[in-house]
Structure 1
């Protein structure tokens, strides 16, 4: 579950086995009446559920840990491989429009927007922080604050460090 995104039919089959086990009498071949909706059982105990894992959400959380690994430990052995194959020269791990995407990365790629929405970036030297896409400006991404400017940007994947140079070479920059 932490390496690949499970297809919906697999989650459905596993949940069916778990529901049947939970609601079966001694005769496991004939499950009894389901007394509570499965989504309610999968809630946390504090929310009135039984604390049973929602496999779809758990699978997405495990896949989101790949982004966390890349952000928190750049010396990790797999970071170089993943950055080379999918990340480019900086930490831009947002959706790419390349045809060369593995089954593993397509699953990770689907959970990145949700994961990135929960993580804010601390700008240090600006080399690893995307100017438009990372949440570094008061916990928000500039592309969400100024969407029109983001759409007009010639460098949507530029880092915070690169941005002054990109603005200076912009056609909107004033001549000294």
Structure 2
């Protein structure tokens, strides 16, 4: 599947390209990647970047970059992960330094969640969190995610939030 471009009120979620690697690598090498298992070296970052792109061919979903409409500046990434490292389809996001607290993760996450429910036809998504990642868990709660203690985490200590299909989020992008 060709990655879509999804527009929201303030954002454009667009396919990843080579020009995105430098900012992505900077984020992944920084202490900000701690809740994702990082910081990561160049090879690990390259593998994750390529995986986010390849998922589109394998599963029909993957990573999209988040650009602000106002200035076309890339502020982060949102994606749906799957494969042998993920027990279920996972909605995830990351924001580059300086773009937190603006609602971008919530807006992008809601748009991709709704696209997944409406276009992919899936009935549930999860997000896996390090127990100390309170900011991202708050985003998940704003997206309608609820803690699912029965779900298998990606890692042993993960807190898993589940996003059920509802009439409010089905096909509303």
TM-score bracket relative to the smaller structure: under 0.3
Structure number having the greater strand percentage: 2
Q: TM-score, normalised by structure 2?
A: 0.26
- Larger RCO, structures 1/2 (Cα 8 Å, 6+ apart): 2
- TM-score w.r.t. the length of structure 1 is 0.26
Instruction: Indicate the structure with greater helix content.
Output: 1
Whichever of the two has the greater Rg, that structure is: 1
